Every structure is written in structure tokens, then in C-alpha cells.
Amino acid sequence: MAIFEANAASFETEVLKSDLPVLVDFWAPWCGPCKALNPTIQKLADEMEGKVKFVKVNIDESPDIAGKYSIMSIPTLLIFVGGAVSDQLIGLVQKEKIVEKLNKHI
């Protein structure tokens, strides 16, 4: 399944108005832990297709979004349900931990 890239122009459509729960991955190209987390996010996007939408936000390109959600360190994963943040994970987290959080919202 595709992982969507969101920016200030598309964030509302891709995330806030989504019918599915959305996992938003706040990252940057220079962030080592972000790169390490990427294969896990890709795998989850494939496994949870149709249940959860996966969106990446590059904090360097969209600092306004990162600021709005008080992103202080990356990677940060926010789970949105019905347009509101319902859960978060910070740092290089294990796949099982992400699945556990997502399963609460499916």
C-alpha cells in the first residue's frame, strides 16, 4: 500500500478528513532513527491496508505542521482518529508496539 506524503496543502485532506485511522510519521531525511523505522512503517502499511492510512510528514518541509502538533523529537508517530490525535509514539519503536497502539483504533 502507498504511504502518502503530506504537507501544509494536503494535511487536512490526507489526515484530518480521513475515514480511516491515520498513522502520521514525522521524520526528516537527516534523521538516522527515522530511516531505521522506515522499513517497519512500509511493512505495516502493507499488512494493515484498508484498516489504517499511513502518512509521512517531512518536518523540514512542513515545520508549521510539526509546530502545531508540538513535535520536539523525531521520529514521532501520531495516530489520528476522526481528525484528532488519539495516540503517539516517540523514537525508534518496535513494530509490535506500533501494532498494539493501532489495534486500539481499528
Pairing of strands 84-90, 76-81: antiparallel
Q: For this structure, is 70 an active site residue?
A: no
Q: Which of 6, 34, 59, 66 is catalytic?
A: 34
Q: Which of 22, 23, 24, 31 is catalytic?
A: 31
| Residue reference for cell 526528516 | 28
Q: For this structure, is 16 an active site residue?
A: no
Beta-carbon-side half-sphere exposure of residue 22 (alpha carbons within 13 Å): 26
* Residues carrying an active site annotation: 31, 34
